[in-house]
Amino acid sequence: MAKFVIKVGKSDEYDEENRVDTERETQATVTLDVRKTMGGDLAIYDHEDIDIIVSPSKKQVIAFAKDEVNDMVYDAQSRLFDYLSKKGVIKRDSVEGGNVYGAMQGVLEEPVGEGLDAINVAILNITKFMEEEAPRFMYQRMYDEQEEDRLLNPDAEESTELGEVPHKREKGSIRPGIYRNAYMHNRFYRA
C-alpha cells in the first residue's frame, strides 16, 4: 500500500518524534489548509471560492460554496469534478447536486489494485487541482487591486476639474431635522 502522511494541524507544530514510521517510503507530501471534523471528514479550505470535504466514511468528495452561490462558484465546482473524473478519482456518473443549497458531490472510485487508498489519491489530486487554479486566483487578485487603484486614485484623464467640493449643512431638498415617514401628512387627510 502506498504511504501518504496526512497530518491535521499547523505545519509548525509538526515534530519528527510524533511521526508514524512504517517500512514504506513516503511517496508524496502535500501542504493544505485541512481540518478534521468530529465525524472524521477532512475539510479543505485552500480554494478561494469553494470548501472541499473529503468523506472517508461515505467515500465522497463534496464541494460547498464558501460565501455565496454564484456563477464563479458553480464554475469552480464544475472544474473540480471534471478534473477528478478525468483523473479517475470519482465516478463520472455520480456527480450531482448535494442536499445543501449550492453543494456538488461525487462518489470516489473503488481502488482495483492493491496498495491504493482512495482518500489519499483524492487528496493528492485535489492538491494538484489547487496548483492548477493558483494562476486564476492570482489574476483575479491582481485585477481587483488594479480596479480599486483606478477608482481610488484616478489619473488626470479620469478625474474632474472641480477638485474638492465643500460640504454645507443643508444641501438639496431634504433638510436635516424634519421627520420623514410614510404617515407624516396623515393629519391633513381627514374625511
Q: Which residues face 96 on adjacent strands?
A: 105
Q: Which helix (H) or strand (E) holds 63?
A: strand 60-65
Q: Return the higher-pLDDT residue of 25 and 149.
A: 149
Q: Return the higher-pLDDT residue of 79 and 180.
A: 79
Q: Which residues face 64 on adjacent strands?
A: 51
Would you state the pLDDT for residue 62? Answer: 95
Please provide the average confidence, as pLDDT, over all residues in the chain.
81
pLDDT surpasses 90 at 72: no
pLDDT classification of 63: cutoffs 50, 70, 90: very high
Q: Return the higher-pLDDT residue of 187 and 82.
A: 82
Q: Return the higher-pLDDT residue of 90 and 21.
A: 90
Would you state the pLDDT for residue 61? Answer: 95
pLDDT surpasses 50 at 50: yes
Q: In 10-31, which positions are buried (b, 16+ CB within 10 angstroms) versus exposed (e)?
A: eeeeeeeeeeeeeeeeeeeebe
Give the C-alpha distances (Å, rounded to integers) separating 113 from 27, 29, 73, 110, 163. 17, 21, 34, 9, 72
pLDDT surpasses 60 at 157: yes
Backbone angles phi, psi at 12, to 5 degrees: -75, -15
Q: Which residues face 36 on adjacent strands?
A: 42
Which amino acid is present at 142?
M
Instruction: Record the pTM.
Output: 0.67
Would you state the pLDDT for residue 161? Answer: 75
pLDDT surpasses 50 at 1: no
Backbone angles phi, psi at 136, to 5 degrees: -65, -45
Would you state the pLDDT for residue 135? Answer: 92
Q: What are the structural domain ranges in the chain?
A: 3-152
Q: In 53-92, which positions are buried (b, 16+ CB within 10 angstroms) versus exposed (e)?
A: bbbeeebbbbbbbeeeeeeebbebbebbbebbbeeebbee
